[in-house]
Structure 1
């Protein structure tokens, strides 16, 4: 078997999400997967890789990769809108500090610029240390919810993809890091914008920074300024001395005409925003990115202890060829091998009557216009499993170019028909369905409802690549 692996052939995160979505869908009942199971068994070398390949093939049949792609695009739009809102908020906060008034309460300005930042940062840290605590208040969960419900094309399994993604990230404890990477990056950009506005305002306008209080003492503000300015001072930002702090509160900076005093206060405010705002956000964004990348790289390996996974593994193991331990007692049954996948022999045709009524004559006396070729196989199947398996093996050996499946037009297609079509479509180049009526002896059921029913069924089963063909009507034949 080829040694390819979904972890290397496909991005690990989408592959893991599709596998989780298929598992959620199958929690309500197993899907018909015989064809996908055989293809996965033949395409991958390891059991885990076969499990992931089966899930991906089923996901393609259900349209799950397209659902995931549309949802991720919507999430990107939601995140972009969030970034714009935070940027506008940052502009509003910075303009509130350096607006038309030339007197700034330095302490109040610092709380305004950093208050919401500290609150959201604390909530994120709590979600990392105690994941269950913030499950109901997570903005990321809200983004997932909005992304899944935005207007646009949506399949029946779109919300299941969202649920599977959320469950996968929670199980891997990656949800806080995913939301953290987005949140910290947006906040870092916001603080860059705030610092740019502050630097521009302090560079080209003269502001008087002070503090005011009714119940607090001047010693409190002296300690606050010194403690808050300690970390910024380690990277070169100045800190106003206690005398300047006391005068700023008692008389404002109008009494301190020295430009150096006002410059120290401005640099102290920007240094606190840089140290306590920008630096933590940049650092946590980098940490979130590293943890996210490491977690995603380890995806793609199913949990072998999960009963669902063990059940799929057991079905894959049943497809393995028998292990021969005694050459003289070798089994007479041929080992399971995957039929060749290449194109069949051009110009050859297999005609199979599938569960036709007993009164319908066989073989067909004629074929519709456009169905040409040398008939190399002609069978009539009553529906027994052994008959179907023999027909599939015969198709694999003969490899006709075209398969014409003759079905009763008045009957309703079922899961057995879908299973047979999936198992045979990989052994021929083209598959077509001819609907006949028992009453009209080998003539197509021309009723619009019958054709529409079979056509809708093929689309619902993701088999719409299979063509419905028809006999010409009597009027057309005599024309």
Structure 2
């Protein structure tokens, strides 16, 4: 199984829970058995059960596709942020043919950013939860770019999982502030490039306000940048910037340019950077405390199947309606040795066959107890090669095929041996064809001869 982070394991577990809540309990007999064999406390067993079901039913691959879509969506949003930031700088400074109104330029660069920043902070403090448009857009893009129908179940599961610790606000906060940080950095870099390659003059204009208002505003906005080393225009420079014949002075232009860069850095870039770091810290701290809520519907009824007060042997559940394609070698344990087993053979089929010394005989599975015992042993000690001998005179019922699938999933490689009919009897062609079709559906190789050489050496 793909190595998953703790958050991804919890995410898949929550997805399986929601799926069972809407569609009913899944066929989980084998998943429960594997979870019990793995051991651990109840949350660990619930996780292991859910991960096995998620891999079997395609939810694991759907999550990986969803994550790929999420990364691609994030890249798209990042490119949009960079382009938008560069556009802000172009809109604020123009082409250099006309003087730049410093306060209009400042409003273009910081106005929308500061308004949305304040609304985000107010929503976080007052409402606790907030619906960030960028967050919803990212989730929507992630699902669209995943291109997997099963990925539709993953988004709601992730949202519900994070809401329990109120981590949505910090995840979305890191996304929103990170994208705005990119936009403001892009605007700042583009400003510097434009100022380095074009000649800009700066003015300010008013009809109803006095010059002292602009002097006070300029000095106030420049206080923090000045503390960090950015120069602030003097009162004389501010006053002469209303005169179109004087604003073009080299020293005045440079002073305004440095002031504008400093203000954008201090009031545009740094607040977003600090908020991004803070949201990331809260997200990582909260993420490490996430755990299963065992009081939720769907988890409480798993206690008895996964941590039974008394172990029951045998298989009590009916055979599944759908056979899942077998993927051999799913066990994380080391596989070793070769094993042969007979499935519900009668006295007319001699057993065991003459076996090489390295091949072990697991006997004939003809009862619930024998099946469960062998499955438990193979879960703990999976063989490298497994041969299952079947009598094709019997019909391939769903229960037998489900058992064959369970056995095959516990071995690194499996082959099915369809025995010849006893002397004086003939195999029914239609029934044999049913066996071939069923085993092909399971994806298991089969043959009419004993695979003894393969069992002993690993090849034919």
User: Is 2:103 the counterpart of 1:107?
Assistant: yes
User: Is 2:50 the counterpart of 1:66?
Assistant: no
Q: Deviations over 1:323-375 (max 9, x none)?
A: xxxxxxxxxx9xxxxxxx765753x5212139xxxxxx8645899xxxxx989
Equivalent residues in 2 for 1:5-16 (5 A)?
10-16=4-10
Deviation (angstroms), 1:12: 1.1
SS state at 1:442 partner: coil
Q: 1:311 to 1:127 in 2, by over 3 A?
A: farther
User: Is 2:205 the counterpart of 1:212?
Assistant: yes
Aligned residue pair count: 418
Q: 1:436 to 1:219 in 2, by over 3 A?
A: farther
- Residue in structure 1 matched with residue 455 of structure 2 by the alignment: none
The gaps in structure 1 that reach 5 residues or longer are 1-5, 323-332, 334-340, 355-360, 368-372, 382-386, 459-463, 473-479
Following the alignment from structure 1 to structure 2, what is the Cα–Cα distance between the partners of residues 243 and 395?
A: 90
Q: Deviations over 1:24-47 (max 9, x none)?
A: 111121122222222222323322
User: Is 2:24 the counterpart of 1:33?
Assistant: no
- Residue in structure 2 matched with residue 57 of structure 1 by the alignment: 52
- Residue in structure 2 matched with residue 227 of structure 1 by the alignment: 220
- Residue in structure 1 matched with residue 134 of structure 2 by the alignment: 139
Q: Deviations over 1:272-308 (max 9, x none)?
A: 1001111012111211221222122223x21132232
Q: 1:21 to 1:395 in 2, by over 3 A?
A: closer
- Residue in structure 2 matched with residue 338 of structure 1 by the alignment: none
SS state at 1:231 partner: helix
Q: Deviations over 1:305-328 (max 9, x none)?
A: 223222223322206679xxxxxx
Q: Note if contact 1:445-1:451 (Cα within 8 Å) is conserved in structure 2.
A: no
Q: Which moved more, 1:92-101 or 1:16-25?
A: 92-101
Following the alignment from structure 1 to structure 2, what is the Cα–Cα distance between the partners of residues 69 and 409?
A: 44
Q: Note if contact 2:96-2:198 (Cα within 8 Å) is conserved in structure 1.
A: no
Q: 1:426 to 1:47 in 2, by over 3 A?
A: same
Following the alignment from structure 1 to structure 2, what is the Cα–Cα distance between the partners of residues 239 and 397?
A: 79
SS state at 1:184 partner: helix
Q: 1:36 to 1:257 in 2, by over 3 A?
A: closer
Q: Deviations over 1:361-390 (max 9, x none)?
A: 8645899xxxxx989466475xxxxx3233
Equivalent residues in 2 for 1:343-358 (5 A)?
346=338, 348-353=339-344
Q: Deviations over 1:96-127 (max 9, x none)?
A: 31523240011111111112322442344355
Q: 1:45 to 1:232 in 2, by over 3 A?
A: same
Following the alignment from structure 1 to structure 2, what is the Cα–Cα distance between the partners of residues 83 and 429?
A: 44
SS state at 2:222 partner: helix
Return the match for 1:404 from 380, 388, 396. 388
Q: 1:197 to 1:375 in 2, by over 3 A?
A: closer
Return the match for 1:442 from 413, 427, 437. 427
Equivalent residues in 2 for 1:67-466 (5 A)?
67-96=62-91, 97-126=93-122, 128-129=124-125, 134-135=130-131, 137-150=132-145, 152=147, 154=148, 156-203=149-196, 205-214=198-207, 216-242=209-235, 244-249=237-242, 251-252=243-244, 254-256=245-247, 258-299=249-290, 301-318=291-308, 346=338, 348-353=339-344, 363-364=348-349, 376=361, 379=364, 381=366, 387-393=367-373, 402-404=386-388, 406=390, 414=398, 416-417=399-400, 419-421=402-404, 423-425=406-408, 430-433=413-416, 441-443=426-428, 445=430, 451-452=436-437, 455-456=440-441, 458=442, 464=443
Q: 1:46 to 1:365 in 2, by over 3 A?
A: closer
Q: 1:263 to 1:164 in 2, by over 3 A?
A: same
Q: Note if contact 2:222-2:259 (Cα within 8 Å) is conserved in structure 1.
A: yes
Q: Which moved more, 1:33-42 or 1:392-401?
A: 392-401
SS state at 1:237 partner: coil
Q: Deviations over 1:205-258 (max 9, x none)?
A: 442211234455545434432332233233233333455444434x34x33565
The gaps in structure 2 that reach 5 residues or longer are 314-332, 353-357, 450-460
- Residue in structure 2 matched with residue 3 of structure 1 by the alignment: none
Return the match for 1:469 from 443, 446, 452. 446
SS state at 1:307 partner: coil
Q: Which moved more, 1:286-295 or 1:275-284?
A: 286-295
Q: Note if contact 2:37-2:376 (Cα within 8 Å) is conserved in structure 1.
A: no
Q: 1:397 to 1:188 in 2, by over 3 A?
A: closer
Following the alignment from structure 1 to structure 2, what is the Cα–Cα distance between the partners of residues 48 and 105?
A: 63
Q: 1:21 to 1:208 in 2, by over 3 A?
A: same
Following the alignment from structure 2 to structure 1, what is the Cα–Cα distance between the partners of residues 336 and 309?
A: 25
Q: 1:430 to 1:269 in 2, by over 3 A?
A: closer
User: Is 2:37 the counterpart of 1:46?
Assistant: no
- TM-score, structure 2 as length reference: 0.75
